[in-house]
Amino acid sequence: MLEVVDEEDKLALEGERCSKCHISRAEDYNLNLFAGLCGHFLCKTCYTSEFDGRPSAECLICGEKRQRNSYVPKRFESGDVHRAIMIRLDMLKDLNLTIEDFDNNERRYNDYLEFREDVVYNLEFNIDTHRTEKRLELFRKRHRDQINKNISRMKRERMARENHLRAKEEEEKLKLMEKAKELEDARAARERLRRDRLENIASSRDPQAALSAIYEDIKREREERERIEREREKNKTKIVFEDNHPKKSRLLYKYVPFNLALHGPAPPSTPMIKTKRMGEGILQNAAAVRAGGFTPELAVKHCLADACACLFD
């Protein structure tokens, strides 16, 4: 099984191959590859040489002309997966209509979603590409205003998200700086206190008494910190999940015996079953079963209750 897995991994690495020098990641595992919109790869050396002094070049496999900035570092093992994702991202820039653009008409919006998936599928698998591109161009002309409006809206939303994240990062940085300053001030205060105590001991006529006083101060400081920590734990905010529904007073559970209507004669009582020894020879008469409370008399009573049920109907 391990050999099969190793063989599959080797074949996957063989597929990650530069389209110019034909070196693969099976030969150089740390090979840096760039993927074009067509899903074909170029290693870093060939990528640099192909676009040396020119903004575009033809793919050596499919012959399509690609811009330099259309190649990005490879993120997926399969070039087909990369191509499918790039096509979808490119199409979603223009096919960005929402249900509000169709006056909240679900039928028309679902037809649009189906059209969008057909376009992406046809372009991904090269199915009737000429007709698909003509349909796409007609759709763009027909909905140009809505498309541009949504592009502007998404741009504003993206900028708002980026500004929010940037402000959050700045806030986190300020908090870290304040925390670092507090720690530094606390460290400097401890250092000053240590020096003052050492100078006090050195200048005192009774070093033993000065040392005892310092020990008492340290003990009081420790007790004060422990008291503050206990108060903090006591007053810590507890997260309470509350609903908006009015709370109803709930009564405690009270057991009510279940009254089963047999619609037939009552079965004999447990003492009678024991007296007449009706439970002898029953398979459940084992120690493990009796320990669980299921006695032979209970089994007999259950069977007799089933037999007597509904005899009066």
Q: How far apart are CA 185 and CA 227, in angstroms?
A: 22
pLDDT over 90 percentage in the chain: 19
Q: Place 265 in a pLDDT band, splitting at 50, 70 and 90.
A: confident
Q: Distance of alpha carbon 185 from its chain centroid, rounded?
A: 39
pLDDT of residue 115: 92
Taking residue 9's Cβ as centre, other Cβ atoms within 10 Å add up to: 11
pLDDT at 104 over 80: yes
Give the mean pLDDT of the chain.
81
Mean pLDDT (whole number) for 187-215: 83
User: Between 30 and 159, whose confidence is greater?
Assistant: 159
Mean pLDDT (whole number) for 34-50: 86
For 8-28, what is each residue's pLDDT tens digit?
666 666 678 888 898 888 888
pLDDT of residue 292: 63
pLDDT at 294 over 60: yes
Closest C-alpha among 71, 69, 87 to residue 20: 71
pLDDT of residue 40: 85
Taking residue 102's Cβ as centre, other Cβ atoms within 10 Å add up to: 16
Q: How far apart are CA 209 and CA 200, in angstroms?
A: 11
Residue 119 in contact with residue 87, Cβ under 8 Å? Answer: no
Q: Place 310 in a pLDDT band, splitting at 50, 70 and 90.
A: confident
pLDDT at 70 over 70: yes
Q: Which amino acid is at 130?
A: H
Residue 305 in contact with residue 268, Cβ under 8 Å? Answer: no
pTM, two decimal places? 0.47
Q: Place 5 in a pLDDT band, splitting at 50, 70 and 90.
A: very low
Positions of E strands within the chain: 33-35, 41-43, 56-58, 65-67, 72-73
CA dihedral of residues 56, 59, 64, 67 (deg, nearest 10): -20
> Bridge partners of 67?
56
Q: How far apart are CA 290 and CA 10, in angstroms?
A: 63
For 139-190, what is each residue's pLDDT tens digit?
999 999 999 999 999 899 989 999 999 999 999 999 999 989 988 998 898 8
pLDDT at 273 over 90: no
Q: How far apart are CA 160 and CA 168, in angstroms?
A: 12
Mean pLDDT (whole number) for 90-115: 89
pLDDT of residue 244: 52
pLDDT of residue 7: 61
For 75-85, what is each residue's pLDDT tens digit?
877 777 888 88
pLDDT of residue 174: 93
pLDDT of residue 31: 85
pLDDT of residue 58: 86
Tokens at residue 42, please? 């170029």
> Bridge partners of 17?
24
Q: Place 271 in a pLDDT band, splitting at 50, 70 and 90.
A: confident
For 210-250, what is each residue's pLDDT tens digit?
888 888 888 888 888 888 888 888 776 555 445 555 555 55
